[in-house]
Copies of this chain bind each other. A is one copy, B any other.
């Protein structure tokens, strides 16, 4: 854990600011968490911080494909915090069944530690965003999950299925995975299916 500079600023609650700084410094570590997907140009693996940014762009650009009335600002807020737990829990590869089984517990422990760095009111706010994202009960959470799944699907198609091949991900696996996209957005779900079919035709998918 990185301790904030011990500098005092008059007129600010010092303890509160120190807690906020501790959180802001801690989450910088998300830039070091590598995901199982490549950049669109295939140059290297993507990290979870830059991924978090990219999906906020997707949420904005594809907003019109969310169900009517979806609060996109709220979607963006969820996406900003959604991967922070990976600082402790690591990125869980969706096709790694053993990792997925232990994922919930590992991530909950991470949320308990990391969000609690914030002052209590803000910790509760960040935690509730993360819980909402995980529970997928609101249209906002479902749409956030949809763009979170669409982004690596695009990366996979544009790198000719590099990660699908490397980790032997079959068409059935991918179809199971992209179901979440249709849950959050019918049009994006339909696009995802068309993309998977096209990927199969081109031989981008793994042999399972």
Cα distance, A77 to B12, chains bound together (Å): 27
Contact, CB under 8 Å: B29 / A41: yes
**B5 contacts A195, CB within 8 Å?**
yes
Chain B residue contacts of A197, Cβ below 8 A? 7
User: How far is B49's CA from A157's CA once the two chains are assembled, in angstroms?
Assistant: 21
In the assembled complex, which residues on chain B have CB atoms less than 8 Å from the CB atom of A41?
2, 28-29, 32
| CB neighbours of A8 from chain B (8 A) | 194
B20, B50, B61: which contacts A122 (Cβ < 8 A)?
Answer: B61
CA gap between A194 and B118 in the complex, in Å: 22
Contact B77 A60 (CB under 8 A): yes
A54 to chain B: which residues have CB within 8 Å?
24, 27-28, 31, 49
User: Cβ of A76 < 8 Å from any Cβ of B?
Assistant: yes
Q: A2-B40, A73-B73 are in contact. Are A187 and B9 (CB under 8 A)?
A: yes
Is the pair B28, A32 in contact by a Cβ cutoff of 8 Å? no
Q: Is A25 an interface residue (CB 8 A)?
A: yes
Which listed residue (B7, B43, B60, B190) contacts A12, Cβ 8 A? B190
